[in-house]
Each structure stands twice: as C-alpha cells, then as structure tokens.
Amino acid sequence: MSIAIVTGSGGLIGSEAVRFLTGRGLEVIGIDNDMRARFFGPEASTRLSWTGLQRNNKRYTHIETDIRDSRPIDELFARFSSEIALVVHAAAQPSHDWAAQDPPTDFMINAGGTLNMLQATRRHCPEAVFIFCSTNKVYGDTPNRLPLIEQETRWDLPSSHRFGMHGIDESMTIDNSMHSLFGVSKCAADLMVQEYGRYFGMRTACFRCGCVTGPTHAGAFLHGFLSYLVKCAVSDQQYTIIGYKGKQVRDNIHAFDLANAFWHFFENPQIGAVYNIGGGRYASCSVIEAIRCTEDLTGHPMKFSYSAQSRAGDHVWWISDNRRFARDYPNWRLTRNISDMILEIHDEFLEKVRLSRSPAPRRRRVGVSA
C-alpha cells in the first residue's frame, strides 16, 4: 500500500490533491485543523471540505492536528514510515495582509511547520517525494522593477523583453527586495525544502505558484483574488480594487492542473527542484479584465471601489514561465483558461448561495485578453 500525506487537505490545493491522488489509487492521510477560519472568518472554513472527503472518499483518512506541533507529526510518520511514498505540503498561512497582523504565527506555520514536515520525512521515509506549495511572493517586489507599459486594461511587458513572451522564469533573484512578511516566511520554507533536497539527497520540489483557484476556493478579502471577486459579483457585494489602477496582472492556475503537475513530478522526481508554475499568458488577467469578464457572465454591472494604496511588496505584473516544468514533464498541460475558471467559480457560488433568481441568469462564454 502506498500512502500520500497531504497537509492543508481541506483547502483548495490540498482537497484537489486528495481527490487526484485517491483517484489514482493512493491512500491519503490528510492533515488540517481549520486554521483558515481563524485567518479569514467562518466563511473561509475548511471543515466542511475535509468532513466531506471523510464521508465520500474511502481512501481518505483525516488527522486534525497542527503542523507547528512536531510531536504528533513525527508520531504519524513513524506509524506509517516506509509506506509513505509522497508528501504534498499545502498547509500555510496564505495572506501577506494577515501576516503583518501576527508575524510570529505566520512564520511558525509557514517556516516552522515546513521544517517539521521535512524532518519527519527525512527521519521516517527519506525515499518519499516531498512537494512544497511555494509562492511567487518569494521574489518580493523585484518584478515591479521590470519596464512595464501601461495599456488600456493592464500593465504589460514589451514582447522584446526576455520575460515578455513567456513570463518570469526561475532566474529572477529573490534578494534585495521587499517581500512582505508572508513572502519571507514562505521564502524561508522554500529554501529549506531545496536544502533538504540538495544536502540530504531527498526528492523535493518547490512549486512557486501564481494565483491558484477553482470552484472549491473559499475566497476571502485578504486572500483568493479571483474566487473572492466572483463571489462579490454573484452576491452583489462591493469589491475593492487595491492599487495600480486595477491594471495589475496575475496568472491563474486551476487547482486540478496544479495537482496534475504534482503527479507528474511524483512519477519522475528530482532532487531539490524549483519550478515557477501558473496559468502563464494562457490564463492571465488584470483585475479590470476579470471584472469585465464577470460582468459579461452575470449580465449586470459589478459594485466596486478603488483604494490607491497598494499592498506592500505586492506585484504589479506577474505571469509565470512554465517552460522549465514543461521541458521536464512534456505531457503536462494546462486545461482551463480564465473564462473557464470564472465560469466554474460562478456556478459553484450560485449553487452555494442559492440566489433567489428564477430562472438563473443566462450566461454566455466570454474571453479575457492575454
């Protein structure tokens, strides 16, 4: 029996990884203690997600514990030891706004929790593949020094720039920039995962993600841009655009496509690998473009306000260059673009909030320029 350990198993990435891995025959032990409800309030709780996995997936076992506590983590790994073939570490404090409110908690979860997971893996199942969900925030605000050009609906790079056609690759420095406290804690964890790979010969990978999203994403004001935006549109709440004239660009990757990337790495792992991964130009949008796409979908204008004060360490423009991962794993593909993701999120929220519209608003597929 091969076992996968998935931390943050009730969250967007973790729950998608659980479904993906159990669908391919692995037994999955999930770790989640619903800290997301503490971070962002009861609407962001993961409890329903992992209780649903428990109820509906016979290959899933749940452990409600805290990754900051090394003792239960070590005991779990000792119990299953060499049966553990894969560790997907997706648990995190994911918001740089929240990190500024409580830097010690943020660091102990993101850096300390990752160290606990690495130590338990090295001690009890050193041959297991260890996948860490890192972030593009490890690059700090270095991307903001790029020669960006203001266009009608987005900031962008000229195609002649080395990052212009395909996005930012792993050669960008992580030094001499403002990271946000969240970026620092994730950067510390990222470097530790690399070091356990290179120093101890473990099969580790850091996936430096752009925006990850999907219909199960519990978007909140402080985290989950696309999900929260669509949620505001569906429930007729006001959305706040924060800085950069709403022209800041993000690439978005569906959680399924990310889980599929994990699987490809698991089947053919490397030591100390680092990958930028996201939607690339194929699935990128500015905030303004996302609002327009959502308005076309819902058929009514969206309520929004604008705050000129941008977040410290935030990116004006981020598009991931996926080519390093694609070279190593040429059978991996992105399967959803921005319109696909907005449509899925929209329909999921309609079902959840059960809007009193009869019939449901007619929708049409729309595109977002990339």
| Domain of residue 260, residue span | 3-353
Q: Is residue 370 part of a domain?
A: no
Q: Is residue 322 part of a domain?
A: yes
Between residues 44 and 237, which one has the greater pLDDT? 237
Count the domains in the chain.
1
- List, for residues 122-153, the tens digit of each pLDDT value: 999 999 999 999 999 999 999 999 999 999 99
What local confidence, expressed as pLDDT, does residue 172 receive? 98
- Residue 336 confidence (pLDDT) above 90: yes
What local confidence, expressed as pLDDT, does residue 110 receive? 98
Q: Is residue 11 part of a domain?
A: yes
Q: Is residue 363 part of a domain?
A: no
Q: Is residue 369 part of a domain?
A: no
- Residue 186 confidence (pLDDT) above 90: yes
Q: Is residue 13 part of a domain?
A: yes
Q: Name the pairing type of β-strands 284-286 and 249-254.
A: antiparallel
For the residues 47-76, what does the mean pLDDT come to?
A: 94
Please work out, in degrees rounded to the nearest 5, the angle formed at the alpha carbon of residue 308 by the alpha carbons of 302 and 313: 110
- Residue 355 confidence (pLDDT) above 60: no
Say if CB 221 and CB 267 are below 8 A apart: no
Q: What is the pTM of this model?
A: 0.92
DSSP 220: B
For the residues 163-176, what does the mean pLDDT come to?
A: 97
Q: Is residue 54 part of a domain?
A: yes
Q: What is the 3-state secondary structure (H, E, C) of 72-95?
A: HHHHHHHHHHHHEEEEEECCCCCC
CATH number of the domain that residue 110 is part of: 3.40.50.720
